[in-house]
Amino acid sequence: MPIEMDQTHFLTDKLKTLECQSRGKEERIIALETENAMLYLKLAQLQGILRDSREETGHLKRVNESDQLQRQRTGESLATLSGQVKALRDEMKQLRLDAVALPHQFQVEYDNAMSQARLQTQKMRLNYSNVSDMEKKMVDMEAALQEANARHAKEKKRRRELHNTLMELRGNIRVHCRIRPLMEFDVGNQDVSTLGRPGSLSEVVTHVMDDENVVVKTSKHSKVYEFERVYSPQESQEAVFEEVQPMLTSLLDGYNVCIMAYGQTGSGKTHTMLGSHKDEDYHVTTEPHPDEGIIPRATRELLRLMEEKPPDTHSAEVSVVEIYNNDILDLLSSDPRAKHDLVTNTDGSMCVPTVTSRPVKTVYEVMSLVQHGLKARREIATLVHEHSSRSHLVVTLTVSIKPNMFLFPPATPGSPTEGVFAVPLSPAPRDKPPRRQLPPQPQGYTGAKQTIRSRSPSPVLLAQTPTGSTVKTKLQLVDLAGSECVGMSGVTGQALRETSHINKSLCALADVLGALAEHRAHVPYRNSKITHLLQDSIGGDAKLLAMLCVSPAQRYVTESLQCLGFGQRARQVQRGPIKRKLPPSLERVGPGDSSYSGRNSPRPKSAGPLRT
């Protein structure tokens, strides 16, 4: 039986040996991995160096190519410059040759020029006398032309003055016409780019021939209308007022004045009478504004004339009414919707006693009151006009004049002319100086007999002036509502009813003028409130100016012809001499009265107080 050996010690040694070997191999693996990582790192460095080298090599190649291209371009430029240098050398050579020949050519040209100069000098000497004669004739013709122009202007002014005098004697209605510029709304439903284009709705067919004639181009032929004054679209508000201004002096001389604007809606009536719609306050300022209309300008001029008079002799008050749907409404009252009635005074004149009148002293006060009234005035926007007035506006300025100041200039207390007034009788013959006589004075009168000239055209006599009465004259400024074509304006409902009343009242105004022109026995003033209210002015108790406002566009040619025809009918009205306002206690005596016995006839002592 074999002997059993103890193998535990042997296995333990062998295990240790194997563990040592295993550790050695692991250390070897770690060393190899470390070495491998270092090799990878070195490889990456070498790859980076290789990449940089390749980039540098590419850059060098590009630089080299650029240098080669630059050298090629430089060579081409050098060749071009060489060619230019050669050409310049050839040109310089030619210039040198020309410079050598230039003195000879200059001498030849100089000799030719001198020959021509001598020849022209001889011709000028020959024609000098003719030129002198022509210059003298030209000076004479210019002088004659200037003289003719001056005479023409003088005669034109004299003709207009005589025409106005004749109109005053006949009582004619002055008619002016103003053509407004084209506006964007004149194109209707067409594009704005067609404004004024021939054949379009906004084609200009109403033109100004001169300052007295208007021509309207129609489909058949052109029609020409003549008026006292025609304003072109370019003329300003100031130019319009310059023609109106002389009428205001008559107001302080005792004559009523009425200025009315007539025309279709959108033709510029309110702009002419009040001012631009761009300013909703119509330029209510203390200073003049270039766009303000006739009403503020007339007010400013009237108050200026009153300021030139002695203090406390003239006063003014204003009222603002509208005729809406044939009803008279007071725009200054606390109830602007209340209706007012017309009343006939004892002297036959028309008035509205219940209308509010406010005393005024400045233009600002007047325009503030007018603006207050305009806020209550009816306006709507139609297809024709954005601010279409639905009523007639009547602004009345009433001037109260003390009779002493009305009939003669002021006299100092105790002077011979105090309390006495006189105006010229019928004109004396031209070969004799005019003579005027004072009638016998009442008992107790100790003043010297003296005649004082008045502007009144009617013959009156001399008398003691009553001190308890005043003379009132009125300036009526009327902005009529515009006539409308219902189909064009597109109004309905209440606006249609307003349009009906407006057109009826304007037709009534045309009927009144027609009756006056034809001297009919009955004049239908009462057919409309506007004609009834303006009866005094239209019928001959005022100097009346009708301002026709017309659109130039083809779209409104029918309305323009109607408006111009209205003006022609108005010019045919002859109302007789305009009556001058006198104090209530005086009456007018003329050659047709039985109490008037001639210029130098003595006045019976029993005749009582003297009247005019």
268 is in an annotated binding site: yes
458 is in an annotated binding site: no
Give first-to-last CA distance, the chain, whole Å.
194
Residue 66 burial by Cβ neighbours in a 10 Å radius (0-12, 13-18, 19+) = exposed
Report the alpha-carbon angle 230-233-237, nearest 5. Answer: 80
Max CA pair span of the chain: 209
122 is in an annotated binding site: no
CA distance 567 to 206: 15
275 is in an annotated binding site: no
CA distance 282 to 297: 12
Q: Is 407:455 a contact under the CB 8 Å cutoff?
A: no
467 is in an annotated binding site: no
**Residue whose tokens read 């009939």:** 407
CA distance 423 to 438: 11
- Going by C-alpha positions, the residue among 292, 291, 268 that lies closest to residue 180 is 268
218 is in an annotated binding site: no
Instruction: Give one word for 406, left, alpha or beta, with left for phi > 0 and alpha for psi -120 to 50.
Output: alpha
Strand partners, 351: 343
Q: What is the three-class DSSP state of 568?
A: helix
Q: Is 241:259 a contact under the CB 8 Å cutoff?
A: no
Single-letter amino acid, residue 465: T
Cβ neighbour number for residue 304 with a 10 Å cutoff: 11
Strand partners, 204: 553
269 is in an annotated binding site: yes
Q: Is 523:153 a contact under the CB 8 Å cutoff?
A: no
562 is in an annotated binding site: no
- The three-state DSSP-derived secondary structure of 132-161 is HHHHHHHHHHHHHHHHHHHHHHHHHHHHHH
Cβ-Cβ contacts under 8 Å for 297 (sequence gap 6 or more): 237, 238, 241, 244, 245, 288
- Binding-site residue numbers are 263-270
- Binding-site residue numbers for ATP are 263-270
